[in-house]
Chain A
Amino acid sequence: MLAYYFHLGLRSLRRNPALTTLMVMAVGFGVAASMITYSVFRAVSGNPIPDKSAQLFIPQIDGWGPQQNQKGEPAEALTYNDAMALLRAHEAKRQTMLYPVQLAVLPDGKRDLPLNASGYAVGSDFFAMFEVPFRYGGGWSLQDDDARAADVVISGELNQKLFGGANSVGRTIDLGGHDYRVVGVASHWNPRPRFYDLFSTSGFADEPDFYLPFARALDLHMYTGGRNSCRGELSFTNWTDYTQSNCVWITPWVELDTPAEVASYRSFLTHYAAEQQRAGRFNWAPNVRLRDVAQWLDHERVVPPESRISLAVALGFFLICLVNTIGLLLAKFLRRSGEIGVRRALGATRREIYTQYLIEAGTVGLAGGVLGLLLTALGVGGVGVLFPPQIAKLAQLDASLVGLTLAVAIVATVLAAFYPAWRAAHVQPAWQLKSS
Chain B
Amino acid sequence: MLKMTHLSKVYRTEVVETYALRDFNIDVKEGEFVAVTGPSGSGKTTFLTIAGLLETFTGGEYHLDGIEVSNLNDNARSKIRNEKIGFIFQAFNLIPDLNVFDNVEVPLRYRGMKAPERKQRIMDALERVGLASRYKHYPAELSGGQQQRVAIARALAGSPRLLLADEPTGNLDTQMARGVLELLEEIHRDGATIVMVTHDPELAARAQRNVHIIDGQVVDLSVDPRFHAAHHAASEAHG
Residue numbers of A with Cβ under 8 A of B are: 435-436
Question: Chain B 69-110 against A: per-residue CB contact (8 Å), 1 yes, 0 no?
Answer: 000000000000000000000010000100000000000000
Any chain A CB within 8 A of the CB of B171? yes
Across the interface, name the chain B residue whose C-beta is closest to A434: B140
How far is A279 from B91 in the complex, measured between Cα atoms in Å?
100
A436 touches B96 (CB 8 A): yes
Taken together as a complex, chains A and B put the C-alpha atoms of A12 and B200 apart, in Å, by 43
B150-174 Cβ-contact flags toward A at 8 Å (1 or 0): 0000000000000000000001000
Interface residues of B in 156-212 (CB under 8 A from A): 171
Give the CA-CA distance A173 to B234 in the complex, in Å: 118
Q: Which residues of B contact A435 (CB under 8 A)?
A: 91, 171
Can you report 4 A-B residue pairs in the complex whose CB atoms are below 8 A from each other? A435-B91, A435-B171, A436-B91, A436-B96
Q: Within 8 Å CB of B91, what residues of A? A: 435-436
Instruction: Classify the interface of chain A: helix, strand, loop or mixed.
Output: loop
User: Which residues does chain B contribute within 8 Å of A436, judged by CB atoms?
Assistant: 91, 96
A436, B171: Cα distance in complex, Å:
12
Measured CB to CB, the closest approach of chain B to A426, in angstroms, equals 15
Query: CB-nearest residue of chain B relative to A435?
Result: B91
How many B residues are at the interface, by size bracket? under 10
Give A436's nearest chain B residue, CB to CB. B96
Looking at the assembled complex, report how far the CB atom of A307 sits from the nearest CB atom of chain B, in whole angstroms: 47
In the complex, which residue of chain A has the Cβ closest to the Cβ of B90? A435
Tell me how far the C-beta of B207 lies from the nearest C-beta in chain A, rounded to whole angstroms.
25
Q: How far is the CA of A167 from the CA of B212 in the complex (A)?
A: 110
Shortest distance from the beta carbon of A285 to any chain B beta carbon, whole Å? 73
Bound: A436/B96 CA distance, A: 8
- In the complex, which residues of chain A have a beta carbon less than 8 angstroms from the beta carbon of B96? 436
Residue of A nearest to B95 (CB): A436
Q: Could you tell me the distance between the alpha carbons of A436 and B89 in the complex, rounded to whole angstroms?
A: 12
CA–CA, A435 to B91, complex, Å? Answer: 7
CB distance from A309 to the nearest CB of B (A): 43
Bound Cα distance A436, B93 (Å): 7
Closest to B171 in A: A435
Q: How far is the CB of A436 from chain B (nearest CB, A)?
A: 6
The 4 closest A-B CB pairs, nearest first, are A435-B91, A436-B96, A435-B171, A436-B91
Q: Inside 8 A of B171's CB, which chain A residues have their CB?
A: 435
Smallest CB–CB gap between B169 and chain A, Å?
Answer: 15
Closest A residue, CB atoms, query B92: A435
Measured in the bound complex, the distance between the Cα atoms of B97 and A436 in whole Å is 11
Q: How far does the alpha carbon of A367 sit from the alpha carbon of B96 in the complex, in Å?
A: 37
- Give A435 to B147 CA distance when docked, in angstroms: 12
A32 to chain B, nearest CB (A): 39
Whole-angstrom CA separation of A66 from B91 in the bound complex? 85
Shortest beta-carbon distance from A334 to chain B in Å: 14
Q: How far is B92's CA from A436's CA once the two chains are assembled, in angstroms?
A: 8
Quote the shortest CB–CB distance from A337 to chain B (angstroms). 13
Closest CB of chain A to B140's CB: distance in Å? 9
For the complex, what is the distance from the CA of A435 to the CA of B171, rounded to whole Å? 10
Q: How far, in whole Å, are A435 and B93 apart by their CA atoms in the complex?
A: 9
Name B94's closest neighbour in chain A (CB-CB). A436
Rounded to whole Å, the gap between the CB of B136 and the closest CB of chain A is: 20
| Distance from A434 Cβ to chain B, minimum over Cβ atoms (Å) | 9
Cα–Cα, bound, A436→B91 (Å) = 7
In Å, the complex CA distance between A72 and B171 comes to 84
